[in-house]
Amino acid sequence: MFKKKILHAKQLNLKEITSLLVIAPDNFEDFILATPAISALKEALPPDGKLTVMIPSKLRKIASRASGIDKILCFNFINCLPSFFNLMFGGYEVLVNFASDSFNSILASAICPARAKVAYALKKETKIYNFFHNLKLQTIDSPQHRIVKYLNLVRFIGANTYDFTPKINITEEDKKYAADFIKRNEITNKDIIIGIHATSLNESKRWSINKFSQLVRNVVEKFNARVIVYYHENEKKRLEEFMHVIRNKALIPDTTDYMKLAALSTYFTCFICNETDFMHLLSPFTNLIVIWSDTDPDTNKPAGNNHEILQASDGSPDSVPVSKVTDAIKKYINIPS
């Protein structure tokens, strides 16, 4: 076991920490948004310092592509005994909890004997989650971007960075898939390539299929663009409907693998979508045009300056006109509006 608990953040020097455990968010989008903070933690450790991330099994692949992670620990009830052993005897000196007060998050914090257990304090002080963390940062009431929220937690213990870009790496295998797709479909470097996600199942946050189909017709007829449609595995029925409406005037990748799609997006002129996980995944790799709903974009917009947020005054995504999206595309292909 380690020395006595650290009681104040100023007592913690990350340059002296050789083993750190991050309890990562348990969903894809939040994990992407936490990667700048995870990378900042790794950079704050000494050269021989190791960073382990605890994630659900479903996030193993994306975690393997994230910068700064030395080891992945998948914590679940199927492999609970090895996970318990790792948490208890893995030598973790610091635990940083990005997850909510879920059962797994609380259990891992309770088992791990780290001297410093860092998390945001829950406002209800009697919550058991608060009890198992000895270095707690108070939450603020004003809205903030989720990337900033994660970064503020690691700044609290000395990992200072102002780099908000998601830290996801594309492998050579993923690049080969993208290059083969481009070659197979006879796309050249002179082509305007427009990516879209037209099949979102979230009714309150989506542009209609009819408007996406008008957009496809516009970019094909006006710009002679090649259109590539992204989709999630559970959106196949809606994808079939969309392809029927546009009369198959677009290409569909034969995969829903996030990192292969990220690699393919590096060829795009821009990508058009609603508020979906694609906007965060693709933000480091291509220009984005995001058709927004009635929420505040400043709390969840994609990182970077090469993106455009289109929001109607009434907050309805479907109130954003096709002409406005078309004009936004023109800016990326250097065509005067």
Of the candidate ranges 70-79, 155-164, 289-298, the one whose mean pLDDT is the lowest: 70-79
Query: Under a CB-based contact definition with an 8 Å cutoff, are residues 269 and 252 in contact?
Result: no
- The per-residue pLDDT for 296 is 93
- Over 60: is that where the pLDDT of 337 sits? no
CATH code of the domain occupying 172-332: 3.40.50.2000
- The per-residue pLDDT for 170 is 97
- Over 90: is that where the pLDDT of 124 sits? no
- Over 90: is that where the pLDDT of 226 sits? yes
Query: Which residues in the chain are classed under CATH 3.40.50.2000?
Result: 9-155, 172-332
pLDDT digits (tens, 9 = 90+) for 191-202: 999 999 999 999
Angle at the Cα of 325 from the Cα atoms of 323 and 329, rounded to 5 degrees: 110
Mean pLDDT of 57-69: 95
The answer as to CATH 3.40.50.720 being correct for domain 9-155 is no
- The per-residue pLDDT for 2 is 45
- The per-residue pLDDT for 162 is 86
- The per-residue pLDDT for 231 is 98
- Over 90: is that where the pLDDT of 266 sits? yes
Q: What share of the chain is helix, strand, coil (3-state, %, to 5)?
A: 40, 15, 45
264 contacts: CB under 8 Å, gap ≥ 6: 177, 178, 181, 182, 195, 228, 253
Query: Under a CB-based contact definition with an 8 Å cutoff, are residues 75 and 103 in contact?
Result: no
- The per-residue pLDDT for 1 is 41
- Over 70: is that where the pLDDT of 219 sits? yes
* CA distances from residue 179 to 66, 89, 169 in whole angstroms, order as listed: 22, 44, 16
Q: For strands 135-138 and 226-230, give the pairing.
A: unpaired
Mean pLDDT of 165-179: 97
pLDDT digits (tens, 9 = 90+) for 315-332: 999 999 999 999 999 999
Tell me how many helices (H) and strands (E) the chain has.
Answer: 12, 11
- The per-residue pLDDT for 76 is 72
Under DSSP, the state recorded for 82 is H
Query: Under a CB-based contact definition with an 8 Å cutoff, are residues 196 and 273 in contact?
Result: yes
Of the candidate ranges 8-17, 59-68, 173-182, 252-261, the one whose mean pLDDT is the lowest: 8-17
pLDDT digits (tens, 9 = 90+) for 17-53: 999 999 999 999 999 999 999 999 999 999 999 999 9
